[in-house]
Structures are given as structure tokens and as C-alpha cells.
Structure 1
Amino acid sequence: MADLEAAKINHDNHLLLDQSCMRLPYELLRQNFRSFHLPFDKGSNSVKDLLKETANGSLNGKVSPEDVVKNLDQMLAKMRGLKRKLAVAADEEDRLYRQMDARVAHMRELASLNTVDDVKYEGWSRQRLDRLLVDYMLRHGYGSSAAALADAREMQDLVDIDTFATMSRIRTSLERGSVQEALAWCAENKKELRKMQSNLEFLLRCQQYIEMMRTGVHSQMLEAINHAKKHIIPYSDTYPVEVSFMAGLLACQPNTHLEPYASLYSSSRWETLADAFVEAYLKLLNLPMTPLLHIALSSGLSALKTPACHSTQSQGADQPADGTSSTTTTNDNNTAAASSSSSSSSAPQRHPPHHHGTASLTTRVCPICSTELNALARNVRYAHHSKSRLLDHDLVLLPNGRVYGRARLDEYAAKSGLPPGQVKDLVTGEVYPASELRKVYAT
């Protein structure tokens, strides 16, 4: 019964990880509408005003026929421009709707599955892993590799290559010392950034000012003062400390060692600006700052982690101070989820176990204790189980503190050629008399 319950798919938890995949097309649709709505209104109103002016002038005789023809040509040119813009917007909408259909179908496929034992679940989970890998590569600038993987798996509509390509291009321009593309992006999303209370545009304007001051040329410094009056002073109520630092920069040379002006002139500010842009970009699209692969991996590590997983590293020796095993296995989760009888809990250990090679044996069994994942799992939360799962019905406690099913111990002892009345620890290989086993009752 416990195996069936553990194998059951929790669809809600899957949606928690994939919600950004479903949400992003809607955010991009809203952004696409905003980007074309205002220019279209301005263009259409301009055509209407010109048409009204031409018609009234023609009726009143104030506009010559040549001017009427000229105005009609202008209106036709504007309407052709509006048509081209609308065509671009319509193509983008079609692409986003196609993405939405593909992603809904992808999640509908999961909804039709009930257990992880279903043969279709392996293919679905493999495709999700590919999506997470593409997301990770896009966030770290490996756009070509991400596109190649998406093409090879034929899942272009399930990933957001164009969205992250734009982010990567602007981030790269900032790292190379240019703020023009980032400022253009801020202008396109000015209203949304203001609602978010983002300071990205202010930081970019300050960097422009700093670069003008860095030259030391008199004309550039005068231009920097005018730039500050126009783009920095208006933020004096919002960022008074930063604005005062910008003013103080007038009295400091680029080679100054006085803080905070030395830090303001530092080239590392470009990396800070790039990080600030990425944060604002992802927040605007409601995307998590952490790669989805890290979120999924952390969840899996947390589900397996117990306090014993890092006991070997924290003790600094193979044998802990209390004489118990230093690492954990799947059966350690059974130990955490079970309680022994009062007689067994007070029973003395008459045969202190020997732990030669215990850590090396256990690391081949427990993923958290492995060399590859031990350091990565150190900062994730411990597993929390509200009730015992996947427990054998005949649990017994060995003198070394480990818990196994009695049938498994007897089967392993028989395979190991032990005489009757003796059992062998499945992990450490320690041998104990069967009389020293204590019954354990699951809670």
C-alpha cells in the first residue's frame, strides 16, 4: 500500500515547478500588446487628424488639389506603416499562441498519468529534464547549445530561446561597457519598472555620468553636469544618498582611493549593472531568479537528506563520537520514521561496531553522502515526513542502530553463508547474533 502511495504522481507539485513555463507566454502576450498599442493609437489618430484637416480644407477651398493629393499620399504611407507593425504584432501573437497550445498539451499529458510506473511518464519526465537543461544553458549564456538541444528534441515551443537571447544580448552589452541597449529596454518598459519600483534606470544614468567624469575632459564634465541635472537630480527624493555621491564625484579623480568614490569608478560596477538588469528582466516576466534545474535538484536532495548525511564531514573522522554509523542510507530514513520499544532503547550495545570502510560503502548507496552531491546538498533543508512510508512490516533494530526488515536480513544472511542464528548488516557487513535484534514499531 505504501509503495502504491509513493508511486502516485502529485500533479500539484509538478505544476509548482512548471508554472513559469505556463505563465511566460501570457506575460509576453501582454508585453506584445503594450508595445504596439500606443504606437498604433498615435499613428491612427495622426491619420484621422490629417484626413479631417484635408477634408475641411478641400471643402473650404483653403487646400489646393496638389496639397490634397500630397496629404493622401502621406496618409497612405502612414497606414502602410501601421499595417506592417500590425503584421509583426500578429505574427508574434501567433507564435505565442502556438507556444501556449504546446505547453498546455504537454501538461495535459502529465494529467493523464497517475503513477511514476507508467511507461509514458519516463518519456514525459525526460522531456521535462531537457527543458530544465535548456533553461539552465539559456540563463548562463549558452544560447547556441540550448538551441541545438531544443532542435534535437523538437521542443522549440516548450522553451523560451528568444526571450533569454534578448536578456543575454543586453547583459553582454552591459558587461562590455555600454548602457544604450539597457536604456532602450527601460524606455520600452518604463511604466512596469516604475510599478516594480526598480532602480535600474537610475543606476544606468549614474553610470553614464561616471563614464563622462572618468574622461577628465572639461567639455565632457560640463556635459556630465547637464546630464545629472536632467536624469539624476529628479531622483534626489528617492535616492538621496546615491545622488549626493554623484555630486561628490565632481571633486574626485578616477585614481582616487577615497570611498565610496573609488568603488564608483571601479570597473566591477559593470558586472553589478548586468546583475541588476537580469534581476529586473526576470522579475518583469515573473520568472524565478534561480534556474529551474537548481530548484528541481534541491527538492530532490532535500527529500533524501537526513542529519546523518554530513556527520562524517562534521566529525572529521570515519567513526563518530557516539559509535554509530556516520552516514545514511535508505534505511536511515526508516530509523528516523520509527521508534523502538522502551526495552530496546535502553539495551546496551555489547558489541561496539567496527566502521572500517563504512563511509566508502555507504556513499555508494546514499546519493547525499556521495562525493559529487555531498557539498551541494549541505545547504538544503532536511527531509520532512509527516508519516512513515516505504517501511518493511517486520522492522528490527541492530546493535549498531540501523533498522532493516527481518526478512531482508535473513535472506542476506543466507546468501552470505552465515550459520543459523546470525544476521549481517546489509551496508557495513557487521555480523550479530539474532538474539540481539530488537523489534521496532512503526509510527
Structure 2
Amino acid sequence: MEPDVLANGNTTPAAAPQSSIRQNDHLTESLKLEDQLMRVPFEHLKKSMRASSRMVEKEMNAVVTGVAEAVERDMSKEEAVQHLTSLVSRLQGLKRKLDESNKSEQLKVQKCRVRLDHLSMLQTENQHEWNSTRVKRILVDYMLRLSYYDTAMKLAESCNIQDLVDIDVFMDAKKVVESLQNGDCAPALAWCAENKYKLKKSKSKFEFQLRKQEFIELVRVDQSMDAIAYARKHLAQWGKTYLKDLQQAMATLAFKSNTDCATYKILFDAKQWDDLVQLFKQEFCKLYGMTLQPLLNIYLQAGLTALKTPFCYEENCTKEDPLSQADFRNLASSLPFSKHIHSKLVCYISKELMDEHNPPLVLPNGYVYSTKALEEMAKRNNGKVTCPRTGLVCNLTDLQKAFIS
């Protein structure tokens, strides 16, 4: 029998059942791939708690300052009552904001709990259900990253996986993306202010690029004096870090927007806004611990790499091999070859390796088992063998030998 018979779906032996140790290893490896699932809601919760903490600190400082001011000033009784009433109103407003923040944080905690319960399913026998849910999560993630928000929400709702995907986080990002696409930096700068500590820690260039773009837009409409004032206020502080970029931007005051000099003409190109959108998406993913590429791309690349071997590009490559198709070959063109060129065949019955010393035998129904296992079965059943999968009974002499190349 030709070697390519082994590539047929009916003749490939099933993988041996995993031992408890291997199963634990599988669970560990699966959990490593789910870092984003838990990290995103956790980072979102941390961000909300930091915002609440800053709000409390700001309001309490204002109230304490107000009380100290009331003590120092010589107020009449009416003025003192009015002043203290305003401070009480401020504290009541703080309480309302904290109540709203608490409700929001409780929802985020609930989302973390749901995701932990989802991961616990890995330890049960509901692997098929868990894998099905994972595929849906990956598809929603892909749609959100490509800005197909409505489709992503409909899929999440229809599959009841709203707590397992990050629609709320991406909807926050949507506002920034749309504003940048419309040539407005204000929401993006507000986002930078909200996440100033983390962006500074990661040495992000995003805020500088936004400030530079606003400067360029002032130069574009010939508001040179306003551009200079803006540069002094918002760009001068970046001089030590991005001196070369800053000098290039400042030179546009002399070259103007209609320049033919490529070095400065590119700064006025509309593509700069697209670059800002892409830079924001990168910083957004870093902030929440997301992968820079969609999960669908990562899993697809991993799968194609596992399948890709030099044999896939030979003329006699079997049609059952996905990489025999031109579209899959194009997707895998930049990916490395699989580390293992040849597969190992393990007998479904004996769990032993099938090789030249224990070659595979093919039953009339197309299933493959090891010679040793089938001969032992035939000895116990007067030369008859039974397929453990389909129940087919046949003579040992009816089997054909398969050769491993």
C-alpha cells in the first residue's frame, strides 16, 4: 500500500488516551493560552478602582481645604452655614459617584468570576462544549479588533457569552478610534490622561504623536503663532526624549503644507491619522494585556505551522492535506516548517508505537491497528479480528499491510 493511504481520514489511527499526567500538562498549556481571558477584565477593574481612588482623593482634599478656609476666614453665621452646606453637597455628590462606581466594579468582579468558572470546565469532561465556546470567543475578539462591533455583539448575545468577551472594553476604544478617523485628537488625549501612569511606565510615544499632529494641523491652516504657542506649551517637554521628531515638526513652520520636500510633506499626509489609529490600537492592547494580533490569527498561524512540512509543497502531496490548497499555502508562506516532519503512529488498541518492527495493518473498513495487537486478538478468536470502533469482524488474512515512509 502507498504511504499516502495513511493520510486518509479513515485510515489515520486515533491518538492514544492521555494519562492523568499528560492531561494535567494539557490543562497547564491550555491555561497559558488564556492569559488574555482573565487579564483584560482584571486590568479593567484595576483601572476603575484607580479612577475611584483618584476621585475620592480629589474631593476629600477639596473638602478639607474648604473646612480649613472656613476656620481661617471671619465668616458670618449665614456665610458659614452656606459654605458648609456646599461642602456637604459635594460629599453627597461624591457618595453618589462612588455608589455608581461600586456597581460598575461589582459587574467587573462578576465577569472575572464567570471567566474563572469557564476555565474550570477544562477539568471536566465537557471538552467539546468548552472548545466550541472558545471558537466563538476567538471570533468575537477578531470582529471587535476589526471594528465589526454590531456583528460581534450579536454573536455574543446569540451564544450567551457576553461575560466571556471584552465588548465593553472595545466600545470604550471605539470612541477614540472614531474621533481619530475624523481628525480629532481630544478623546485620545483624554484617554492618555486617564492612563498616564501606565503609558509613562511603558515609555509610550502615543501622546507625543497626538500633540505633534495637533501642531501640524495648526501649521496646515497657517496659524503659525498659535502653532508656536502650542509647541511651547505641549511639545517642549518632549524635547529630550524625541528631539529629532520635534525638530522635524518645527521645520514645517518654514516649509508649510504645500511643500514638495518629501521629509516634511509626509507630515501633512492624511495617512498620519491612520498611523495614529494603529498606534492607539497597539497601546490599547498593551494597556489591557491583550495580544497585538487577533487571537484568530495566532491560532491559525499555530495550526498551519504544525501542519506545514516540506512534503506539503511536493507534487504528490495528498489532497487531504490542507496545505495542498493554494489559499492555505499562501497563508502559511511566511511561517516556519513544523519541527517534526514525520508523524508517529500509535496503535489504538495496544497504545504502542507502530514502526517497521510493529507495522500497521489496514482493515477492510479503512481503520489501522498494529500487527502485534491484531495477531494477539486473532490468536484468541480463531483467526478473527474485530474492529474496536465499528465492530467489523474479519479474518486476519483479509488485512493489508501499510508501509511507513
- For 1:180-329, list aligned pairs within 5 A: 180-216=186-222, 220-311=223-314, 318=315, 325=316, 327=317
Distance in 2 between residues matched to 1:411 and 1:39, nearest whole Å: 71
Amino acid at match of 2:77: P
Post-superposition CA distance 1:168-200 (Å, at most 9, x none):
221121122111110111111112111111111
Q: CA 1:134–1:269 in structure 2 vs 1: closer, same or farther (change >3 Å)?
A: same
Match 2:324 to one of 353, 357, 369: 369
Identity of aligned residues (%): 32
Distance in 1 between residues matched to 2:354 and 2:66, nearest whole Å: 89
Give aligned pairs, total: 350
Distance in 2 between residues matched to 1:440 and 1:42, nearest whole Å: 74
Q: CA 1:255–1:53 in structure 2 vs 1: closer, same or farther (change >3 Å)?
A: closer
Q: CA deviation at 1:30?
A: 1.3
Distance in 2 between residues matched to 1:136 and 1:19, nearest whole Å: 16
1:11 maps onto 2:44 in alignment: no
Which residue pairs with 1:139 in the alignment? 145
Higher relative contact order (Cα pairs below 8 Å, separated by 6+ residues): 2
Asked if the contact 2:176–2:188 (Cα under 8 Å) also holds between the matched residues in 1, the reply is: yes
Q: CA deviation at 1:5?
A: 3.4
1:408 maps onto 2:368 in alignment: no
Post-superposition CA distance 1:27-67 (Å, at most 9, x none):
1121111112122112112223323443576xxxx321111
Match 1:22 to one of 28, 38, 41: 38
Asked if the contact 1:17–1:292 (Cα under 8 Å) also holds between the matched residues in 2, the reply is: no
TM-score for both structures, normalised by structure 2:
0.80
Distance in 2 between residues matched to 1:89 and 1:75, nearest whole Å: 21
Amino acid at match of 1:407: L
Q: Secondary structure at the match of 1:237?
A: coil
1:171 maps onto 2:184 in alignment: no
Distance in 1 between residues matched to 2:286 and 2:107, nearest whole Å: 23
Post-superposition CA distance 1:101-156 (Å, at most 9, x none):
1000000011224xxxxxx2111111111000000000000111111111111111
Q: CA 1:161–1:379 in structure 2 vs 1: closer, same or farther (change >3 Å)?
A: same
Which residue pairs with 1:155 in the alignment? 161
Asked if the contact 2:257–2:268 (Cα under 8 Å) also holds between the matched residues in 1, the reply is: yes
| Aligned CA-pair RMSD | 2.6
- For 1:71-86, list aligned pairs within 5 A: 71-86=83-98
Q: CA 1:439–1:259 in structure 2 vs 1: closer, same or farther (change >3 Å)?
A: closer
Amino acid at match of 2:18: E
Distance in 1 between residues matched to 2:72 and 2:354, nearest whole Å: 97
Distance in 2 between residues matched to 1:438 and 1:129, nearest whole Å: 36
Asked if the contact 1:27–1:285 (Cα under 8 Å) also holds between the matched residues in 2, the reply is: yes
1:100 maps onto 2:112 in alignment: yes
Which residue pairs with 1:428 in the alignment? none
Distance in 2 between residues matched to 1:439 and 1:294, nearest whole Å: 36
Asked if the contact 2:309–2:337 (Cα under 8 Å) also holds between the matched residues in 1, the reply is: yes
Distance in 1 between residues matched to 2:327 and 2:123, nearest whole Å: 34
Asked if the contact 2:305–2:338 (Cα under 8 Å) also holds between the matched residues in 1, the reply is: yes
1:42 maps onto 2:48 in alignment: no
Asked if the contact 2:309–2:341 (Cα under 8 Å) also holds between the matched residues in 1, the reply is: no
Which residue pairs with 1:130 in the alignment? 136
The answer for unaligned runs of 5 or more in structure 1 is 114-119, 312-317, 319-324, 328-361, 398-403, 413-436
Q: CA deviation at 1:380?
A: 2.3
Q: Secondary structure at the match of 1:368?
A: helix
Distance in 1 between residues matched to 2:365 and 2:47, nearest whole Å: 64
Q: Secondary structure at the match of 1:379?
A: coil
